[in-house]
Amino acid sequence: MKLVNIWLLLLMFLLCGKKHLGDRLEKRSLEKAPCPGCSHLTLKVEFSSTVVEYADPIVPCNDTRWSQKWQSSRPLRRASLSLGSGFWHATGRHSSRRLLRAIPRQVAQTLQADVLWQMGYTGANVRVAVFDTGLSEKHPHFKNVKERTNWTNERTLDDGLGHGTFVAGVIASMRECQGFAPDAELHIFRVFTNNQVSYTSWFLDAFNYAILKKIDVLNLSIGGPDFMDHPFVDKVWELTANNVIMVSAIGNDGPLYGTLNNPADQMDVIGVGGIDFEDNIARFSSRGMTTWELPGGYGRVKPDIVTYGAGVRGSGVKGGCRALSGTSVASPVVAGAVTLLVSTVQKRELVNPASMKQALIASARRLPGVNMFEQGHGKLDLLRAYQVLNSYKPQASLSPSYIDLTECPYMWPYCSQPIYYGGMPTIVNVTILNGMGVTGRIVDKPDWQPYLPQNGDNIEVAFSYSSVLWPWSGYLAISISVTKKAASWEGIAQGQVMITVASPAEVESKNGAEQTSTVKLPIKVKIIPAPPRSKRVLWDQYHNLRYPPGYFPRDNLRMKNDPLDWNGDHIHTNFRDMYQHLRSMGYYVEVLGSPFTCFDANQYGTLLLVDSEEEYFPEEVAKLRRDVDNGLSLIVFSDWYNTSVMRKVKFYDENTRQWWMPDTGGANVPALNELLSVWNMGFSDGLYEGDFTLASHDMYYASGCSIAKFPEDGIVITQTFKDQGLEVLKQETAVVENVPILGLYQIPAEGGGRIVLYGDSNCLDDSHRQKDCFWLLDALLQYTSYGVTPPSLSHSGNRQRPPSGAGSVAPERMEGNHLHRYSKVLEARLGGPEPRALPACPHLSWAKPQPLNETAPSNLWKHQKLLSIDLDKVVLPNFRSNRPQVRPLSPGESGAWDIPGGIMPGRYNQEVGQTIPVFAFLGAMVVLAFFVVQINKAKSRPKRRKPRVKRPQLMQQVHPPKTPSV
């Protein structure tokens, strides 16, 4: 009996001692070093005469206080996508009362990089380049900085801003705010000065050196709208052709569409957008589509992938951590993940820019309720990408991998409008990724295979594609239209496109063997009978010009910090809200990407000309006059045009070292006046601004022009405005009454159409719209489509007699302008620019169908899977139970694990986790000992009945009841 008791006491002692030991180990591992010094961060961005300050009261773990001024004569150039925006800020701001959630300590842990760390992968032997603002020599977060180079005109390698340090930390910091690949070889390229100045020539030199150093992964947290900077774009192609995986931020110009930055918008580059930790698309993250292909084609899907870019923690300029936001932050998250993934691949020859992008987009997790121009293929999934990459076989793939015009909201805008006979073909621009080699080709032609049971023979398809896939990629443009036999049919039609891609074999045999890969592209569309003419609106895209390459100024001159018109002027980019509104009102909007001579006016009720900068062919002018006489209506939204103001808004470009002069005003008013002259209509070169009320609606006129002349029997509405032209030129203020801004006119000929003029398009444009005029567009379409004159306009108190144009001078084209360099209409001739020969209308060669008498798949989107990939073959170890628990960080608390030597977080939990079986064994032994003691006691008791004692009475005497006390 004594032996049993002694053994029990020994077990209890060991159990308690082990528990205290575990408590001490856990406590020591969880203790955080206090932040050595936390201060306020203030960013001051100065642009010309506009100064904007961004400040945060608390910046975790950063002892730097600085004020940054950005002086530049050229407002839009390649810039860091955090520093040059309002999204360079710290978390920890005061906000309204809300539910608290656990904020992850490290973005690398949130994406489960620690699982790969515990498998022994930490980015070793991978060379990663950071093109940014530099890095200090002895920063405590980095242990494997192989080289620092400076390509600027400043004599320093250090980071004076903190942007480059933060980016490098997200990729490869080894302690505190830990990066994804702490053992990667860091190559630091300083290409920005402390004033955020950079030149294309600096990048070209640095890119050449990166090729020489055989860099594996290159991060560019920079961008700009100039996708026609040919030396830069060509050098990016050369980099990726040399097997450099380039990751770049798509820009901080959201939520506006058509705001992708270069080089992230290139097919061979991994373009990264930003989300917050609630998996919402960050407001600042730029949206697609690409605008390279406009006006004749349609943009590609970008970004490629999204990941955390809001409130991400990274290295401070001198140590410690800070939390920042922007796609400049999301880009190194993906670059760090890519670096870590490269280190996990045993056969490095399989890793290239195409195969890495294929793995990322095939493994991405789609976000619900978000379209493809916001999220690309979805959210980065590091572990699934690891599985895909480690079972990868060289092949071709498509982005997007299917076309479903019925799937909303992901397939917006394709899903927003069904197709019908006689409509403009729907163009889908698909990117071909070729993981088999840097160069390739499409074998023969793509095949169109309609599913007969699913009415696939009711649609016809035409192709346009890259003759050579280089580097690693190409395009496949698919035009979809409805056959004549389905003119009155309604339903769903399906088919598929089959393409075969060939690339030279790695080790070419004597007979020139090639690798081939066949890819299937499912297509699903909704067809309806052709809508009535009155409901069909045609948007003129052909006559809209944008930067690049020319200097086309903003329509609102108040927007001094964003002076270039660079969003494409498309109904799916900066006129997206207008398009959505028209669709909600039952109108069908089609896009004209060719001259006026290429559409059948009998199919459309209204032609919409908004913010046109292009000239017009004489043949276009003549055809439009005939069309309007035969019933086509015309709505024109113009903008300012004044040669004196155009000269005033010129600027000096530091890259080209030239003065840039606008090639037009907000719109090309002289060209519009020539188009309208046959009806005795025209705009002036006046420039007006102001708030006003029209038909009980609050309106804002932003840098608009006035109507100079209009037919006497028309309706003209006037307003009182400020003369903005006088303010720009002489800094004087003057108020002008009875400014004609809106005119409505019915063609007197029988069956003639109607014409509407309005002097400002900013109320339709998403770029800098202050007050929309969608209600006015509805009223004008009622007038042009049905001949219903809005009573609020015809009986308005602001209705005045139409101006005759007597005594006014028509605006003239600015002498010496360079519009002919960028125009599709003009060409340079001796004596001045002249119209080119009218181009032929686009002719589509419809593919010969190869019908399939089989049932089409019901769901085109399953989680994307590359060919010959079996994720079950790559099994991940179950480390999740050993991962550190997440709790909210208090302000000023370091997010670091205080473990010497940069050991990955989670290691201490392995030791604690290993003691769990010991505790379980000891607990079982205690229970067993308890039962042994009880059995021995029962055996030693005498078997006689004891007298019962009335103990409750005794207890009451000993323990009287308690009474309440004061």
pLDDT 10s digits, 263-306 = 999 999 999 999 999 999 999 999 999 999 999 899 999 999 99
**Residues in Cβ contact with 7 at an 8 Å cutoff, skipping those fewer than 6 apart:** 929
CA separation (Å) from 928 to 17, 915, 923, 924? 20, 20, 9, 6
Does the annotation count 778 as an active-site position? Answer: no
374 versus 12: which is more confidently predicted?
Answer: 374
Closest CA to 684 of 657, 721, 632, 733: 721
| 3-state secondary structure string across 302-316 | CCCEEEECCCEEEEC
- Per DSSP, helices labelled H in 173-302 are 200-212, 230-241
20 included as an active-site residue: no
Cα-to-chain-centroid distance, residue 491: 33
Q: Look up residue 31 and give its two tokens.
A: 């203790």
pTM of the shown model: 0.82
pLDDT of res. 413:
96
**How far from chain centre, in Å, is Cα 900?**
39
Confidence at residue 562, expressed as pLDDT on a 0 to 100 scale: 85
Distance CA 718, CA 757 (A): 12
| Residue 683 phi, psi (nearest 5) | -100, 160
Query: In 3D, which of 555, 807, 814 has the Cα closest to residue 661?
Result: 814
Percent of the chain at pLDDT > 90 equals: 71
First to last CA, the chain: 52
Q: What is the pLDDT of residues 187-228, one digit of tens each?
A: 999 999 999 889 999 999 999 999 999 999 999 999 889 899
Residue of 307, 305, 289 lying closest to 297 (CA atoms): 289
Q: Using one digit for the tens of pLDDT, what is the confidence trace for 106-146?
A: 899 999 999 999 999 999 999 999 999 999 999 999 999 99
Active site residue 328: yes
pLDDT per position as a tens digit, 737-757: 999 999 999 999 899 999 999
Write down the catalytic residue from 139, 163, 543, 820. Answer: 163
From residue 164, alpha-carbon distances to 134, 161, 219, 663 in Å are 5, 8, 11, 37
**Mean pLDDT score, 715-737:** 96
Instruction: Please give the pLDDT value at position 237.
Output: 98
What pLDDT sits at residue 634? 98
Chain position carrying tokens 């206080």: 65
Q: Does the pLDDT of residue 316 top 70, yes or no?
A: yes
Peptide bond into 60 cis (omega under 30): no
Per-residue pLDDT tens over the stretch 92-107: 333 333 333 334 458 9
The answer on pLDDT for 89 being more than 60 is no
Amino acid letter for position 233:
V
pLDDT confidence of 842, banded at 50, 70, 90? Answer: very high
Helix (H/G/I), strand (E/B), else coil: 113 = helix
What is the torsional sign of CA 439, 443, 444, 450?
negative
Q: Which of 56, 114, 132, 159 is catalytic?
A: 132
C-alpha 415/C-alpha 425 separation (Å) is 14
Of the candidates 136, 173, 328, 363, the residue annotated as catalytic is 328
pLDDT of 943 higher than 80: no
CA distance linking residue 237 with residue 953, whole number of Å: 97
Which tokens hold the place of 128?
Answer: 């990663």
Instruction: Report the pLDDT averaged over residues 625-631.
Output: 97
Q: Are 865 and 407 in contact (CB under 8 A)?
A: no
- Asked if 393 and 351 count as a contact pair (C-beta separation under 8 A), the reply is no
| pLDDT, position 938 | 66
Q: In this structure, what token pair is assigned to residue 416?
A: 């927003």
